[in-house]
Amino acid sequence: KAGVTQTPRYLIKTRGQQVTLSCSPISGHRSVSWYQQTPGQGLQFLFEYFSETQRNKGNFPGRFSGRQFSNSRSEMNVSTLELGDSALYLCASSLRGQGNSPLHFGNGTRLTVT
Amino acid sequence: DQQVKQNSPSLSVQEGRISILNCDYTNSMFDYFLWYKKYPAEGPTFLISISSIKDKNEDGRFTVFLNKSAKHLSLHIVPSQPGDSAVYFCAAMDGATNKLIFGTGTLLAVQP
C-alpha cells in the first residue's frame, strides 16, 4: 500500500503571498489531519477532515484553511503569509480518525517564507 | 499553554543501555497516549500506545509506563541501538475534544 504523499516537498514563498499544500492519504483512509512543526514547539494541530467535513480545528488564525475532496485527498491553504509561517507542514491519514486509529504521516512540506 | 511537555530536548545513551524518555501532561481528560519516532526528512511513525486504564504496555524492546496520579508517562527502550537515534514525540488524546496533542519532542542519540 502506498503511504501518505505530500506535495511539494519544499516551497519558498514571499511574505504576503498565499500557498496551497497537497496531501494524498493512504487508500481507504477517510481522515486527514494537518500539523505544523516548528523548532521548540513540537507538532501543533491545525485541523482534521473526515469524509469531506472539518471535524476538528486547532488554534490557528483564519489565514489557515483546508478542505477535503471526495477521494479523501486534502489541501491546506495559507493566505497572506508571514515569516512565522515558516515550518514543516505534516499531513497524517487514519482509517477512522484521530481518536480511533493511529495516524500515518507523510514526509511533510517544508515551507520557507522570506 | 503546552499541555504535553517533554522537558528534555535531548538525551544521549550508550548502545546496549536503557533509554528512558519522559513526558508530562496537564489535562486530566487525556485518555490515550502514544509515542511517535521521527527521523530527519521523514514524517513521524507510530511506535507504541497505552490506554489510560492501563499502567504498562510492552512491545519488544519498547515499554511505555503510565502514572496517572503523577500525570507522567515514560518510554523505555532496552537495549538501545544506534538505529533508535531519532526524535521521539509523546502524544495524548483529549477524550473531550478528540484532538491529538503532541509534545515538543526529545532527540535521542544512541552512541555505538
Query: Looking at residues B60-74, what average pLDDT do you find?
Result: 97
pLDDT for A38-83, tens place per residue?
887 889 999 999 999 999 999 999 999 999 999 999 999 999 999 9
Q: 36-95 in B: which are within 8 Å (CB) of A?
A: 36, 41-46, 49, 89, 91, 93, 95
Question: Could you give the angle at the alpha carbon of A85 between the alpha carbons of A107 and A63, nearest 5°?
Answer: 105
- At A92 the pLDDT is 96
Note whether A56 contacts B45, CB cutoff 8 Å: no
Helix (H, G, I), strand (E, B) or coil at B83: helix
- B32 at A interface, C-beta within 8 A: yes
Note whether B98 contacts A90, CB cutoff 8 Å: no
Residue A10 burial by Cβ neighbours in a 10 Å radius (0-12, 13-18, 19+):
exposed
Q: Evaluate if residue A102 carries a pLDDT over 90.
A: no
